[in-house]
Amino acid sequence: MGRKAAKEMQRTSATSRQAGFTLLELIVGLTVGSILLTAVYATFVGVSQTQQRVERVLDSTASWRYLTERLREDLNRIAAGTSFTGTVRGFEALFIHADGGQPLPLKYEIEDSAITRSAGNVVSTIELPAEFQQAVFSYQIGDQWNDSAEEIPLGFGIRVATPQGQTSRTFALEFNPQSGQPQG
């Protein structure tokens, strides 16, 4: 049984091709890899910034909704026949607390980027979002909207300036201020 002798490996010359990568192949590979990493990083940064913008919009929407709902609830409990004073910077009136007891003084006051609500001894401040500026109240007396009121108005408005323009909310009272009876 004849065995074949192992062949001796041929030596390669310095000019012949050897195993491995050339410098050009390494440069091309690193360039393609860095382009892919840059694209992944840019996508990550873009998604992160978009998430932050969405959170800011949701925060400002939540603040605006809380303010308007709180205001709506308070306005619907204003005691009929009581004194009322309103300006663009705020208003004062008496309102009936949820427990139905004695009317309490209610005051809303706009101060820079916050609206302060005082109801009896309870004071709370509602911070307006940074993009909400120049908040003002308006009051419907008869068919006209005014910047001030000396009687309980038929409607209330609050308006703020935003980068996208004006945002406003108008409230109609759910009772006749002259009779104090709920509308039905």
Q: pLDDT tens for residues 51-101?
A: 888 887 777 778 778 888 888 888 888 877 788 899 999 999 988 877 767
The mean per-residue pLDDT over the stretch 146-156 comes to: 89
Confidence (pLDDT) at 34:
95
How confident is the model over 6-22, as pLDDT tens digits? Answer: 666 565 555 556 678 88
Query: Has residue 183 got a pLDDT over 60?
Result: no
Inter-residue long-range contacts of 121-126, CB under 8 Å, 24+ positions, other chains counted: 126/63, 126/66, 126/67, 126/70
Confidence (pLDDT) at 181:
44
How many of the other CB atoms lie within 10 Å of CB of 91?
22
Tell me which of 181 and 138 has the higher pLDDT.
138
The mean per-residue pLDDT over the stretch 117-125 comes to: 89
Query: Has residue 121 got a pLDDT over 90?
Result: no
Per-residue pLDDT band for 178 (boundaries 50, 70, 90) equals: very low
C-alpha separations of 93 from 54, 76, 84, 85, 123 in Å? 37, 12, 5, 7, 15
Query: Has residue 158 got a pLDDT over 90?
Result: no
Confidence (pLDDT) at 182:
42
Confidence (pLDDT) at 21:
84
Structure tokens belonging to residue 66: 């809380």
Q: Is the pTM of this model over 0.75?
A: no
